[in-house]
């Protein structure tokens, strides 16, 4: 069984907007929203593993995890909407984790299938390493420094932790993301908050009145999010249909 993992409900491709799973070519693919960052990811995956232990312990060889989501660009050549199939999942060395393993690889079979899909769909894409941090990288200068120190192309807050979860259980894993903010674009936390579906109208009004420039940023962000969700939907539909998943 292949399970689709999403950091945020906001990242659900169009094909996952209804229900808790998607049927493609007669097969059912469940999905799980794990939240943002290490703690939320580990908590959600731990509960999921406990709830479905009878399935995943019975035949590990037939199971796999596909993470779909957004990411920040560190490589200046990346553009908003570019697909990223990561070659490595690196952990930010500044994090005080004291881990012996700080870099993990995707399952090669899943990786090759994903590359084949994006190539056939004529998408703009890159195969490059990503880095997992514990916070949003907001400033251009921070992005530039992180790219140099980590030698990675994109940044996120979950890939390494999901990859590590999968490694410990012998489950094949792959992450495919879409670039939202480019290397020279600064990230607005307020605009990100406004884009979340559960945000209250009162908070939106407060922020717009106090900082009207955020409304412009929000509009641009929403446009990029819609475009990115469409890209994820196209990829997910083709990826799930092209493979013989159990």
Over the stretch 73-99, which tens digit does the pLDDT of each residue have? 999 999 999 999 999 999 998 886 667
DSSP 189-223: HHHHHHHSTT--HHHHHHHHHH-THHHHHHHHHHH
What would the pLDDT profile of 123-142 be if each residue is shown by its tens digit?
999 999 999 999 889 899 99
Mean pLDDT, residues 171-177: 97
In sequence order, the 6+-apart residues with CB closer than 8 A to the CB of 149 are: 93
Residue 105: Cβ within 10 Å count: 15
Domains and CATH numbers, the chain: 2-185+227-242 (3.40.50.1580)
The residue with tokens 């579906």 is 197
Residues 6+ positions from 33 with CB-CB distance below 8 Å: 6, 7, 8, 9, 12, 44
Which tokens belong to 50? 């406990």
Q: Which of 66, 76, 167 is nearest to 126 (CA)?
A: 76
Task: Single out the residue of 133, 159, 162, 176 nearest to residue 49, CA to CA.
Answer: 162
Number of H helices, E strands in the chain: 8, 9
| Cβ-contact 173, 166 below 8 angstroms | yes
At 195, the pLDDT band (50, 70, 90 cuts) reads: very low
Q: Is the pLDDT of residue 194 over 60?
A: no
Q: What is the value of pTM for the model shown?
A: 0.84
pLDDT tens for each residue of 53-67: 655 545 555 689 999
Contact between 179 and 78 under an 8 Å Cβ cutoff? The reply is yes
CA atoms of 82 and 77, how far apart (whole Å): 10
Confidence bin at 149 (pLDDT 50/70/90): very high
Confidence grade of residue 236 (pLDDT, cut at 50, 70, 90) = very high
Q: Beta strand 154-156 with 125-132: parallel, antiparallel or unpaired? A: parallel
Contact in structure between 166 and 142 (CB atoms under 8 Å): no
Helix (H) or strand (E) segment spanning residue 232: helix 213-242
């Amino acid at each position: 069984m292949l399970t689709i993992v999403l950091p945020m409900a906001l990242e659900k491709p169009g094909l996952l907007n209804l229900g808790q799973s998607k049927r493609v070519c007669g097969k059912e693919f469940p999905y799980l929203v794990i939240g943002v960052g290490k703690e939320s990811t580990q908590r959600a995956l731990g509960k999921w593993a406990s709830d479905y232990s009878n399935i995943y312990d019975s035949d590990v060889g037939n199971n796999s995890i596909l993470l779909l989501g957004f990411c920040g660009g560190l490589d200046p050549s990346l553009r908003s909407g570019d697909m990223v199939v990561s070659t490595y999942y690196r952990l930010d060395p500044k994090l005080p984790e004291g881990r012996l393993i700080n870099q993990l690889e995707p399952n090669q079979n899943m990786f090759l299938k994903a590359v084949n899909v994006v190539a056939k769909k004529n998408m703009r894409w890159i195969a490059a390493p990503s880095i997992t941090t514990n916070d949003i990288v907001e400033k251009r200068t921070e992005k530039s420094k992180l790219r140099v120190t980590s030698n990675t192309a994109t940044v996120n807050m979950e890939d390494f932790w999901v990859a590590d979860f999968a490694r410990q259980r012998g489950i094949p894993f792959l992450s495919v993301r879409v670039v939202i903010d480019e290397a020279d674009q600064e990230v607005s936390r307020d605009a990100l908050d406004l884009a979340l579906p559960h945000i209250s109208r009162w908070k939106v009004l407060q922020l717009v009145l106090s900082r009207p420039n955020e409304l412009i940023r929000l509009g641009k962000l929403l446009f990029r999010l819609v475009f990115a969700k469409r890209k994820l939907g196209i990829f997910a539909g083709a990826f799930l249909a092209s493979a013989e998943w159990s």
